[in-house]
Amino acid sequence: MKSKEDNTQKKTKKLSSKELSWVLYDVGNSAYTLLACALIPIWYKSLAVGDGAGHISSDRATAYYAVAIAVMTVVSALIGPVCGAIADHMRIKKAIFSTTVVVGVSACILNGFTPTWVLFLVIYVLTKIFYNASLVFYDSMLVDVTTKDRMDEVSSYGYAWGYLGSCVPFLVSLAAYICGPDMLGYISNRLSMIIGFAVTGIWWFVVTIPLFKSYKQVNYVSYAADKDIHKNFENDVFIRDNIKEKNKTNKNPGVLRLIADAFAQIFGTIKKIATKDKKVGLFLVAFFLYIDGVGTIIDNCINIGTDLKLDSVGQVVFLLFTQIVACIGSLVFGRLSQTYKTTTLLYVCIAGYFAVCLYALTLHDLIGFGIMAFGVGCFQGSLQALSRSYFSKIIPPENSGEYFGIYDIFAKGASFLGSLVIASVKLAGGTINVAVATMAIFFAVGFVFLRLADRYDAPGHENN
């Protein structure tokens, strides 16, 4: 953990070429995240909603979209640990990362050509799965592109640049939508979709090229027969001892072996948390609940507006505004964390989201949607960033890898339960206002579990 000396403000250094190439991937993948949040639901409903054959009602379209998100979430959560195990393996991280990116980008571009809403959803889910898989490898690359003392700074750059950089291709996609049949009518809905998905996919790929070229895997696991791994630390970078000699004698384990080892590690860590560390266990329950609420609102924000028949362009403009607010909000809460306890700030963020959910009951016009978007922006990035930093303070630092493996499952599981709740409410005939308001339950119960976790000590760890 950091000492007081470590927490002293350091003079900011420029990003190295390797660090910059790593940061740029956040700029690329965030462009797809913004498109998925803002325009993909609109294009999906343009294909799905109607009175003729092959079309469905708006309520059913919203429900099926929520189910698709839930399916994608479960699959991503299940393959995450396997990707993590593979990411640590010898010299294959770059190749598999490149594969996930290429497949994700290709599926993204292909999504613009889909003729039916069913195929549209299938390819959308496929894109999101490979997108999430690429992030597992991407996150693990940080230790290879920078030094230990710069990890927080470089990671923060990626987070901030991702919010702002994603707006560039999105403005082109938004222009294509405005020129489409819903607005100016200069181009067809099909061409509007093709332009939006193609620009996003190309941007995603192009800004990843520097990482393709510059990344070299420094840290990896060399499987010996007895699994004895010798660890050294040199220049703040974790390396394996006698790598060249091991390469001559060790064979890569098979895929089934990697999968078995990954799940064995997961179950072992879960057992350890459940029996020995109540603070971590209670926090993970809290995190799963409130981050599920966060993910659900993000994934369904445009569906909220379309169900209320709000102006589509106005919704998208407010979502762009949310990106800027989220960037500023995360920086503000980051500064406040130097003065206030992390848990105190987490309580504020959770309470803020709780209020946003209840406010949805009164939502009926575009101005109200803008107010809700502003509220989400204030707490969205802050809640995610503070949760990660708090978790790092309460776990054993020597076991951070296996603990964050579990954390990643809960993070990837965001929006699973919430999406099912929204689908259930809509299929039962409830309004979107009521469906969003039910998310307040997730934040309320998450708040309670966080309070319970805060009562336990984490012996030997930094006081939060």
Same topology, domains 16-220 and 275-464? Answer is yes
**pLDDT tens readout for residues 301-333:** 777 777 777 777 777 788 888 888 888 887 788
The mean pLDDT of 321-348, rounded to a whole number, is: 84
Q: What is the model's pTM?
A: 0.72
Per-residue pLDDT at 9 exceeds 80: no
Rg of the chain's alpha carbons, rounded to an integer? 22
SS3 16: coil
Domain residue ranges in the chain: 16-220, 275-464
16-220 belongs to which homologous superfamily? Answer: MFS general substrate transporter like domains (1.20.1250.20)
Least confident of 101-115, 161-175, 265-279: 265-279
Q: Please, are residues 357 and 444 in contact by the beta-carbon 8 Å criterion?
A: no
Asked: is 275-464 a CATH 3.40.50.300 domain? The reply is no
User: Residue 238 in contact with residue 148, Cβ under 8 Å?
Assistant: no
d(C-alpha 350, C-alpha 43), whole Å: 32
- 300: number of Cβ within 10 Å: 26
Confidence of residue 242 (pLDDT cuts 50, 70, 90): very low
pLDDT band at 106 (very low <50, low <70, confident <90, very high): very high
Euclidean distance between CA atoms 178 and 115, whole angstroms? 20
SS3 call for 174:
helix
